Amino acid sequence: MGSQCTNCKCVNTKNEILKTQDNVTLATSDSSSVHQKKIKKAILIQSYWRGYIIRKKLKQMRLKKRETLNSYNSKMDASEFFFSSGVTLNQDEFPQEDRGPHKRSYIYGTMERQGKRWLWAKYDGMWKYNKAHGKGKFQHANGDVFDGEWENDMANGFGIYQHFNGPKYEGQWFCDQQHGYGVETWADGSQYQGFFQKGLKHGKGKYKWADGQVYDGDWYKNKIHGRGILQWPDGRRYEGEFQNDNMHGRGLYQWPDGRKYEGHYFNDQKHGYGIYQWSDGRKYEGEWENGKQHGKGVYINGEIERPGEWYQGKRIKWDSDSNA
C-alpha cells in the first residue's frame, strides 16, 4: 500500500475554476487525475510478502529441523510445543540458485536482478507438529523480518512485517495475508490506518500521503470506493461518493477562498445536475457534462435569475423570457 497510489484523479489537483460573469471556466480542471499515481504504492505491501515463499522456506527448515532435533522429538508427544532458537538456512546448507534475469515485486515497484543468489532464512520461535505455530520471528534472505503469531506455518493473528527498505505493516494476519485492522507505514511518512480483507485494503480506512493529503473513508479491494473525505494541504476538500478511485456520484467540493460545487460527478468530472457558487455569492444551477456547464441552467446574481443554455462551458443564449 505508501506515497503513491493507482490512476485516480482526485488527489493532487490544483486545477481551479475561475469566474467570467455567467460562465464557469476551468483553468485546468478540478478533476483528480493525479490520484492513481499515488495509490499504486499504497496497495503493494502484500505483493512482496507471499505466503507461498514463507511456506516453501519453512518446509526447507523443517527438513533441517528433523535432522538436528530428531532425537529430541522422539522423546516428546507429537502435540507438544517446543521453542526453536535460530534454525537457519544458509549458503552452506543450500546450493545457489541461478534464476537469470527476473523480476521481484517490492513496495516501491519492481526490481530486476540477474545472476545467482543465496537461499537462506532464519526462524526463531515455537513449533507444533513440526510446523511454525505460536510466537515466532522469521527473517528473510533480503533482510525483511516478520515477527508475530503463526499457525500451521502461516502468519495468523497479530504480526509485524518490516521491509528492509523501511516500509512496515503492523496488524492482523489470516492465512499469510493482511486481514483485519492494521497500520502500514512507509519510509517517507505516508501511512494507512484501517481494515484489510485477504491482503487488500477493504472497509474503513484513512490514508495520509507524505505531502499532507488525506483520504478518510471507504475502500473496496484496494480502491477508494464508497463514501469518503479527501483533503488537500492547500485547504481544498471533497466530501462525497467515490468509485474506482474517482469522484463519482454526489459530492461537495470546496475551495479555501469560499467557492464550492455541490452536485453530481461522473468519472472525476462534474456531470449531471450541480450548483457552482463563486466566492462573491453568484451561482450557476444547472446541467454539466464532462466538467463543463452544458445544457439548461440558471445564472443567479443576487435577486436576478437568468435562465439560459450553455454548451461546453460557454453560454450560447439567454431564454427569451428572462431578464436582459
Residue-by-residue DSSP string for 153-168: TEEEEEEEEE-TTS-E
Residue 263 within any structural domain of the chain: yes
Lowest-pLDDT range of 48-62, 190-204, 236-250: 48-62
Residue 257 within any structural domain of the chain: yes
Highest mean predicted confidence (pLDDT) among 15-19, 40-44, 109-113, 189-193? 189-193
Residue 45: per-residue pLDDT: 55
What number is the average pLDDT over the span 162-176?
93
Residues composing the chain: 324
Closest CA to 114 of 122, 126, 103, 124: 103
Chain-wide mean pLDDT for the chain? Answer: 74
Q: How far apart are CA 236 and CA 261, in angstroms?
A: 12
Q: How does pLDDT run across 19-32, given as a tens digit for each residue?
A: 445 676 543 345 45
Q: Are 245 and 35 in contact (CB under 8 A)?
A: yes
Q: How many domains does the chain have?
A: 1
Q: Which residue has the higher pLDDT, 119 or 165?
A: 165
Residue 56 within any structural domain of the chain: no
Residue 115: band (very low, low, confident or very high) from pLDDT cuts 50, 70, 90: very low
Q: How far apart are CA 27 and CA 40, in angstroms?
A: 27
Residue 297: per-residue pLDDT: 97
Residue 214: per-residue pLDDT: 97
Residue 277 within any structural domain of the chain: yes
For 131, the grid coordinates are 510446523
Residue 294 within any structural domain of the chain: yes
Q: How far apart are CA 120 and CA 143, in angstroms?
A: 10
Answer whether residue 95 shows pLDDT above 50. no
Residue 203: per-residue pLDDT: 98
Residue 243 within any structural domain of the chain: yes
The CATH number given to whatever domain includes residue 263 is 2.20.110.10
Highest mean predicted confidence (pLDDT) among 63-72, 86-95, 130-139, 214-223? 214-223
Residue 275 within any structural domain of the chain: yes
Residue 141: per-residue pLDDT: 81
What number is the average pLDDT over the span 108-116?
31
Closest CA to 288 of 313, 308, 260: 313
Residue type, 59: K
Q: 302 to each of 277, 281, 285, 293, 315, how far by Cα in Å?
A: 12, 8, 14, 20, 19
Q: Are 183 and 169 in contact (CB under 8 A)?
A: yes
Residue 291 within any structural domain of the chain: yes
Answer whether residue 105 shows pLDDT above 60. no
Answer whether residue 282 shows pLDDT above 80. yes
Answer whether residue 185 shows pLDDT above 50. yes
Q: Residue 252 sits in which domain range?
A: 234-323
